[in-house]
Amino acid sequence: RLALVQVPSVLPRYLELPTDDEEHTDLILLEDLIIQFIDSLFKGFVVESTMPFRITRNADMPFHEEGSRDVLKQIEKELKKRRYGVAIRLEVQQRSLRKELLFMLQDVLDLHDRDIFIVDGPIDLTFLFGIYSQIGIEYDDMINETLIPFIPEGLESGKDLFQSIAKQDYLLHHPYHSFDPIVRFIVQAAKDPNVLAIKQTLYRVSGDSPIIKALTDAAESGKQVTVLVELKARFDEEKNIQWAKQLEKAGAHVIYGYKELKTHSKITLVVRILEGGVLQRFIHLGTGNYNDSTAKLYTDIGLLTTNEELAEDATNFFNWLSGYGERPSWHQFETSPDDMKDFFLNKIEDEIKLHEKYGNGRIVAKMNSITDRAIITKLYDASSAGVKIDLIVRGICCLRPGIKGVSENIRVISIIDRYLEHSRIFYFYQNGKEDLYCSSADWMTRNMKKRIEILFPILNGSHKTYIKDMMALQLVDNVKARKQRSDGRYVYVKQENKEEEIQSQIIIHQYTGGRWNNIPSVFEREPSNWAEREVLRLRAENEKMTDD
């Protein structure tokens, strides 16, 4: 007979065992404890074998939208069905594998062999967060040194952020820069009597979000608050429904987005009125979510500005979303699903033509994943034409570099370190013009065709320099960077001739704090050992300056 026993989620995943050794802590996983005493659950039976397993189910929620309110109700209904979704993956422990049980589960769940994952170790390692938070403090030597985020001058606590942003644009690179100024930007807008309106897109926020509270306070005080809450943000649907209802109750105008499209854009618009009735617009644009918790772990770029063309685009963007009208013409934005893909294809084509004329073509792009066939094909064309291309792709990469005659001028690296690389940045040399853009979108078909995304330019020269330097450091990382080979496999970047380790995230933190200068740019030529040696030379100079 076959019996299924659920490992209770309401109990801790592990338990501490009593021990006489004060220097060590013994733990046992809950599933192992259940196995140890499984006979007590089945009196009168002999338990022949046990096997822990974990099922992953399809979390997509198919539904047909017939209006905003119907969307909310339908998602609430579909959420209850998620636990019964089609199984797409089965994980089992290697040490407790029982083939007869595995075959029975595979048959019941209708899974192919490729859907079976044999795990050498515990299943579902999320329990490690609990160990870290509860007993990890006892092992300080095993915990990464905390990197304290910086706050740019003018955005410190107690400063009038509107006054500071009106004087200059601010580029923030989280988590090297604190996310606190972004939260205070919303909070100050909610409290400022001169603020008429706050408009914002919300895809994911933290569990006890100070931004949601600020928007609620603003709506209750009579300000015009317009919030686009993306109900289809996977695994955050239930939480977003709660925020949406809370904001509506407070008097905010809540929008649920366009039919069959996810609104993935990260944008805030604040409208203030000055003496004489002059309107002043403040904009925040970003590559990541308005989540103050994940902002401590995800690397993202944010821009605070009053630039008139960006402000006009932001105003038109919210009018477009809230009015269900035709997409407006943009001054600086590019958006999907309409124009962004063609924009990228044209920029790559322009780089090819300029390279054919001047011989200095260069593309550097940083993103989470790249899957779009048309963009990959165009990058192959650029490589074949001789354009030097560097791609920093943390996750899925359907492009293959280093194929002779196809992609031999393309290099792909992936950096997996203490922070999740989440920013999307796109650089085109353009014969010295150096066009640089940030976006909420990856080079994925879903971002280009199934989501509302924003691409915005980096116009300030010092901001361009910072982003170029940051990516230059990542391109010479020899600690956490993995290089993709032409067969799709990844290998760690080798350290040449016992050179000092270059861990880009650590150095970027130092650079953001003003402890590094003159980082070498590797955008105009092929990255090579000269860049690594230059970084080491600069490190030695900075250390000497620190000692002095």
- Report yes or no: 224 and 196 within 8 Å, Cβ to Cβ: yes
Report, in angstroms and rounded to the nearest whole number, the Rg of the chain calculated over CA atoms.
26
Residue 547 has φ and ψ, to the nearest 5°, of: -65, -45
Which two three-digit tokens encode residue 467? 């982003």
Report how far residue 359's alpha carbon sits from residue 349's, in angstroms, rounded to the nearest whole number. 14
- Report yes or no: 53 and 87 within 8 Å, Cβ to Cβ: no
The string of DSSP codes covering 356-382 is HHHS--EEEEEES-B--HHHHHHHHHH
Distance of CA 471 to the CA centre of its chain: 16
Neighbours of 132 (CB within 10 A): 13
Residue among 263, 261, 181 nearest 226 (CA) = 263
Please identify every residue annotated as catalytic.
264
Q: Is 198 exposed, middle or buried (0-12, 13-18, 19+ CB in 10 A)?
A: buried
Residue 348 has φ and ψ, to the nearest 5°, of: -65, -40
β-pairing, 253-255 vs 224-229, is parallel
Residue among 456, 515, 466, 423 nearest 304 (CA) = 456
- Residue environment code for 383-410, b if the CB has 16+ CB neighbours within 10 A, otherwise e: beeebbbbbbbbeebbbbbbeeebbebb
Which two three-digit tokens encode residue 58? 């399809």
**Positions of E strands within 291-343:** 298-305, 334-336
Report how far residue 318's alpha carbon sits from residue 322's, in angstroms, rounded to the nearest whole number. 6
- Residues facing residue 389 across a β-bridge: 363, 410
